[in-house]
Amino acid sequence: MLTGSGEQVAPIVRHVHAGEGYDAVVDWGGLGHLPQYLTQLGLPPRVFLFTDSNLQKLYASTIIAKLTQAGFEPQLYVVPAGEASKSQQQLSAIYDWLLEQKAERREAIIAFGGGVVGDMVGYAAATYLRGVPLIQVPTSLLAQVDAAIGGKTGINHPQGKNLIGAFYHPRLVLADPATLLTLPPRERTEGWAEVVKYGIILDAELFALLEEHVNVLSTFTHPPVALLSQIVARCIELKVRVIEEDEREQGRRAILNYGHTIGHALENVSGYGEWLHGEAVSLGMVAAAALAQAAGMFSADEVLRQNRLLKAFGLPVVYQGAVRAQDILAKIQLDKKVVGKRVRWVMPKRIGEVVVTPMTDELVSLVVTGFFAEKRP
């Protein structure tokens, strides 16, 4: 049972039965134990640490000192912070650097950062020398509960988000929720969209827990150590169960993309960076719930519960911007869930349960056009 206790918690470990198998660890303060976790994996001493320009200032010198002290030989590479870095150009620069360093097949790459670093550096690890050991150390809430779990790696293409990539599992995921304390509030807030998503698609109990504790979770004035660690671990557990059943998204794993069909389209059409991923997913969930309600699948009361919780976390629930509905509708056709030129929508039936189903073009057009019409709250 999930609780709201504020007590310190021991590391929570979930062994993931995918790829060659690996541990996903939630450990408050675990960043300080990174050398011990790496030592347990029996890796060569030289490791390649990738982070972004924001995190470099906060953590790089400390991590490098700890790794060096433990006998490792860390080499640092810094990518510019932001979604725009998830590009072919930046990926090529990473390959160039690894080749200059003469990085070898057994030497590990450490992706230390949010979803951008994890996705792109993960893809570099998957493809450099046809695959080198990857360690994911996610530092954002979004990455800890979602992006770093499950082996999806990739970069964006001008035509769409995450269209170039590979399934490649890490040797370890180390999520330290204490790193969330150093996030700018907007970046911490966006991660709650993915947490709420898990409640909608799989876990009504988690959803109710979020409703109960939304004030303390969203303000972070006194970080609820045990509660936050439990929520991160619960989200990991939910995602791992799905990917163990459907590792390469041939079926059930598609439910994890609730809110992402419209969310990804919005990110692309508006230009990567205007909306953070979690913000776009929040709007995507609001639109998806409206679509499900219009189809008679999802009750008005549960739509209200979803949108009220998203708003309470500080996430957007009303679109304000300049994109045109027809551009969103056109971009949806490039969604990775399209089969036989038909989009498979993740539609909620009730909080805790969704189905994947096609929807009529007429209904989608009606709801999307209404959602992206100019509005003011």
Stretch 320-329: mean pLDDT: 93
- Catalytic one of 169, 197, 234, 260: 260
Is 209 buried (19+), middle (13-18) or exposed (0-12) by CB count in 10 A?
Answer: buried
pLDDT of 333 reads 81
pLDDT of 3 reads 44
pLDDT of 337 reads 56
pLDDT of 222 reads 80
pLDDT of 315 reads 98
Interval 157-210: pLDDT, tens:
888 888 899 999 999 999 999 999 999 999 999 999 999 999 999 999 999 999
181 assigned ligand-binding residue = yes
pLDDT band of residue 375 (cuts 50, 70, 90) is low
Q: 160 vs 310, which has greater pLDDT?
A: 310
| 3-class DSSP string for the chain | CCCCCCCCCCCEEEEECCCCCEEEEECCCHHHHHHHHHHHCCCCCEEEEEEEHHHHHHHHHHHHHHHHHCCCEEEEEEECCCHHHCCHHHHHHHHHHHHHCCCCCCCEEEEEECHHHHHHHHHHHHHHHHCCCEEEEECCHHHHHHHCCCCEEEEEECCEEEEEEEECCCCEEEECHHHHHHCCHHHHHHHHHHHHHHHHHHCHHHHHHHHHHHHHHHHCCCCCHHHHHHHHHHHHHHHHHHHHHCCCCCCHHHHHHCCHHHHHHHHHHHCCCCCCHHHHHHHHHHHHHHHHHHCCCCCHHHHHHHHHHHHHCCCCCCCCCCCCHHHHHHHHCCCCCCECCECEEEEEEECCEEEEEECCHHHHHHHHHHHCCCCCC
130 is catalytic: yes
pLDDT of 176 reads 97
Stretch 348-363: mean pLDDT: 96
Interval 99-157: pLDDT, tens:
999 999 999 999 999 999 999 999 999 999 999 999 999 999 999 999 999 999 999 98
Contact 117/50 with Cβ under 8 angstroms? yes
260 is catalytic: yes
The residue written with tokens 């893809």 in the block is 123
Stretch 43-55: mean pLDDT: 97
Instruction: Reply yes or no on whether the pLDDT at 376 is more than 90.
Output: no
249 is catalytic: yes
Tokens representing residue 331 in the block: 């971009």
Stretch 46-53: mean pLDDT: 98
pLDDT of 348 reads 98
Stretch 65-85: mean pLDDT: 96
267 is catalytic: no
Q: 29 vs 375, which has greater pLDDT?
A: 29
- Catalytic one of 169, 253, 305, 344: 253
268 is catalytic: no
Crossing angle of helices 277-294 and 260-270, rounded to 10° = 130
- Catalytic one of 14, 54, 86, 152: 152
194 is catalytic: yes
pLDDT band of residue 82 (cuts 50, 70, 90) is confident
pTM of the model: 0.93
Instruction: Reply yes or no on whether the pLDDT at 97 is more than 50.
Output: yes
Question: What is the set of domains in the chain, with CATH numbers?
Answer: 12-182 (3.40.50.1970), 258-371 (1.20.1090.10)
Instruction: Reply yes or no on whether the pLDDT at 290 is more than 90.
Output: yes
- Catalytic one of 86, 169, 264, 344: 264
pLDDT band of residue 6 (cuts 50, 70, 90) is very low
Please provide residue 346's backbone torsions phi and psi, each rounded to the nearest 5 degrees: -90, 110
257 is catalytic: yes
Mean of pLDDT over the chain = 93
